[in-house]
Amino acid sequence: MTDNFRFVKKLLAAGTLLGFSILGLIHSNATLMSAPSQSSQKAAAAQSDWPVYGGTPEDMRYSSLAQINRSNVKKLQVAWSFDTGETGGLQTSPIIVEGVLYAYSPTQKVIALDARTGKLLWKFDSGIIGRQPDRGLATWTDGKHRRILAGIMNYVYALDAHTGKPIETFGDGGRIDLRENLGRDPQSVIIALTSPGVVYKDLLIVGGREPEALPCAPGDIRAYDVQTGKLRWSFHTIPHPGEFGYETRPPEAWKYSGAANNWGGMAVDTERGIVYSPTGSSSSDFYGADRVGDDLFANCLLALDAKTGKRIWHFQGVKHDLWDRDFPAPPVLVTVHRDGKLVDAVAETSKQGYIFLFDRVSGEPLFPIEYHHYPASDVPGEVAADTQPLPTKPAPFARQLFTEDMVTNRTPEEHQSALQRFHKMRSEGQFVPFSVGKDTVVFPGFDGGAEWGGPAVDPETKILYVNSNDVVAYGAVEENTSTDPTGRHVYLNQCALCHHDDLAGAPPDFPSLQGVGTRMSQKEITTIIREGRGRMPAFTNLSDSYTIALVHFLVGIEDKKEMVSTGDAPPAKYRFSGYGKFLDQDGYPAVVPPWGTLNAINLETGEYAWKIPFGEYPALAAQGMKNTGTENYGGPVVTAGGLVFIGATNFDKKFHAYDKATGKLLWETTLPFAGNATPATYEINGRQYVVIAAGGGKDLKSPSGGMYVAFALPD
C-alpha cells in the first residue's frame, strides 16, 4: 500500500456517508439540443493560445501543449516578468490571443503585453479605481476585428484589442452599466463583475458579485449584444410571478430579496448552445425568515439556452441556504464513459467538498444523489430545509465533521486552549442551522472546500484536479436589538457580518476595525466604504447620512440624529454574529493538518487517483512541521506534458508543478507574492510558456503587489 493511498484512505474515512435513501432531484425539460458531441474537449488539440478564462469555453483548464513535460520541467526559468507598479493583490488568469496577453492591474487597469517578452503594448485606464477582485477578461472577434470585454466594478467595457481604446458604439460611449435593468433603482444597486462573462456567438453573458446582506439586487443572469451592448435577455434567478420556481419563495420575494447570483463564472457548450451557470445563496446569507422555502434559483447549477436565456434544467445543491454554500466556480464540461457509451457531462465542485456530475443535456446525475435529513432551526421564524442532497461518489475531498480528536496538537498548550473552545461549540457536520448565541461549526469553512479557482480536467484520462481548503469556521445568530438609526445600527446591519460586533474582525481574512480612526482619516474610511477594497464590496447603497454616521461610529463619534435612506432596508429580527475562524493563539488553524489539499479524482469511476497536502507555512516548516497544507486560492492547469501547474498557496508564495499521474512534486519556485490566481499556458514560435499573476493580497499580514511572471525552458 503506497503512502499516497494510505493518506487518501485516512482522509476519506472522515467523510464516509452511511445509510440514507435515494430520492429524486431534477426538474428538467431537456427536450432540446440533441446531437451528441464528444468533440468539445478536443477544441484545445491544436490550440497554442489561451483565449478564454479557463482555456476553452468548456473551462477544462487543459492544454495539449507538451514541450514542458515531466522530464524537463525542472529546467524552467523566468522568461519575463511584468510589474504593474501597484499593490493590492491579483486574482487574474490572463487570456492570450495571437501573441498578446491581456490582463488587469490590481486597480483594474486593463493591460496588453507582448506574450513573448512581457513588454507593455497598451494600458487602458477607465478613471475608476477598481477595488474588487477581477479574475479575467473575455474576447470576441468577427474574424476582422477583435474586442476585449473587461469588467471594471459595475461597468463592462468593450476595448479595441489592438489599441485598448473603448468602442464608442458599444453601450454608452464604450461601456454598459450592470446596475441597470435589475428592477431596482440603479443608484441603490451594488454589483461588480469579478469573474469574466462568457461569449456565445454575438452575446456576452454575465453574472456579478453582490452583497451578502440586504438591501441587495437580484442576481439576474443577463446576455448583451457584444457589438451594441444592448440587453438581449435576462434570466431571473429570483423568479417573478408566473415563472418556474416562483412558489419556492414568499409571494413578494422578487421585489425585495437579492443575490442568487452567478459570481464564480460560467462554461458554454458552444455546439449545443447551452450555458452552464452556477449560482450563490440568496441574501441575507445566514438568516432566511424573509425567504422561507427552497429559494430557487439560489445555490443551483443552471443549464440555460444561450440564445434565449430559457431554462433547460437545473439542480439545486443547497435548499434554503443558511451557510453561504455558493457554487463557487465555473463547471467543467467533459466527456466520460458510462455503460459502454460516451456521455457529454458537466462537473461542478462545491464549498462542501463534493463534486456533482450530470449528463450535460438532460441534467440526470451520473452518480446517485442521496437526500439526507438534517436538524430543524431553533431560531424563531427560521425554517431550515428538511433534506439536502449529497452525491454518493466521489467521496468528499474535504473533511466533513470536526471532532474532539481533530483539535490541534501542535503544542500541548494550544491543544488545551483549543479544546476548551471546541467544547463550547456545536459540531455535528454539514447543514446544521446556526443557533442564537451559541457558535456552530462549519467544516469545511465558509471558503470551502473548493473555491473560485475551480478545477482542471484532463480529457484523455477523465481525471479532475481540485485544490481544497480544510480549515474550521464557526458562527452564530444574534437577535438584532439595534434598530435606532445610528452609526452603530448601520455598522451592525452592514459590517458586523465580517468585522464582528466588537469590531475585532477575523484576521487575516477580515481585519480588525478597533482603533481604525487612529490609522486612517475619516476621508480614507469613507472612500473605502463607497469604493470597496479586496473582498469588501462598495456600499454605494448607503445614503450620505448613513455613511457619515457609520464613519463617526468607527472613529468613536456616535451620531444620534435620525437618518433616512431609500437604500436601507428595515433590519431583520436576527443577524449573523460574524465569520469566525477556528485558529490557535499563534494564528494557525486549530485543527490537525492537512489544512489544504490537492486532489486527483477519476470522473468515470469516482475514485481518487491521489491526494496530497498542499502548501506549508515557512515558519512551521523551519521547525520541522512540513507539508501541513495551507489555505489556497486560485486553481490548477493540467497539460498533455503530464503536469499540473498551480500556485494558490497563501503563505509560502510557491508556484508548483506536479506529476499529474502520481501527485509527485517535480518543480517549484518562490514568487515575489503569493500566486492567488489560476495560471495559463500558451506557445509562441514553438516555445511554451506558463504565466501566473503574483500579487498576494489574501493574507493581510503580508505585503501585496501586482506582477505577472512567465516561465519557459531555456531558449
* Per-residue pLDDT tens over the stretch 23-81: 333 343 443 343 444 444 444 434 699 999 999 999 999 999 999 999 999 999 999 99
Residue 99 grid cell: 501573441
Report DSSP letters for 225-256, one per residue.
Answer: ETTT--EEEEE-SSPPTTSTTGGGS-TTHHHH
C-alpha to C-alpha distance for 460 and 484, rounded to whole angstroms: 61
Reduced DSSP (H G I as helix, E B as strand, rest coil) percent helix, strand, coil of the chain, to 5: 10, 30, 55
Residue-wise pLDDT for 195-241, tens only, equals: 999 999 999 999 999 988 888 999 999 999 999 999 999 999 999 99
Q: Tell me the domain boundaries of the chain.
A: 3-476+583-712, 481-571
Residue 387 grid cell: 433534506
What pLDDT score was predicted for residue 517? Answer: 82
Which sign, positive or negative, has the C-alpha torsion 536, 542, 545, 549? negative
Residue 97 grid cell: 490571443
User: Could you tell me which residues are beta bridge partners of residue 445?
Assistant: 448
Superfamily of domain 481-571: Cytochrome c-like domain (1.10.760.10)
The mean pLDDT value of the chain amounts to 90
pLDDT class of 534 with cuts at 50, 70, 90 = low
Q: Are 314 and 365 in contact (CB under 8 A)?
A: no
Mean pLDDT of 591-606: 98
Residue 698 grid cell: 489574501
What pLDDT score was predicted for residue 318? Answer: 98
Name the burial class of residue 3, with classes exposed (0-12), middle (13-18) and buried (19+) by CB atoms within 10 angstroms of its CB. Answer: exposed
Relative to beta strand 637-639, strand 62-63 is: parallel
Distances (CA, A) of 95 to 33, 116, 140, 201, 663: 30, 13, 12, 18, 27
Residue 435 grid cell: 443557533
Superfamily of domain 3-476+583-712: Quinoprotein alcohol dehydrogenase-like superfamily (2.140.10.10)
Of 690, 696, 612, nearest in space to 654 by CA = 696
C-alpha to C-alpha distance for 160 and 102, rounded to whole angstroms: 12
**Region at 363 (left for phi over 0; alpha for psi -120 to 50; beta for the rest):** left
pLDDT class of 417 with cuts at 50, 70, 90 = very high
C-alpha to C-alpha distance for 473 and 578, rounded to whole angstroms: 10
Residue 486: CB atoms within 10 A of its CB come to: 21
Which sign, positive or negative, has the C-alpha torsion 666, 668, 674, 677? negative
pLDDT class of 486 with cuts at 50, 70, 90 = confident
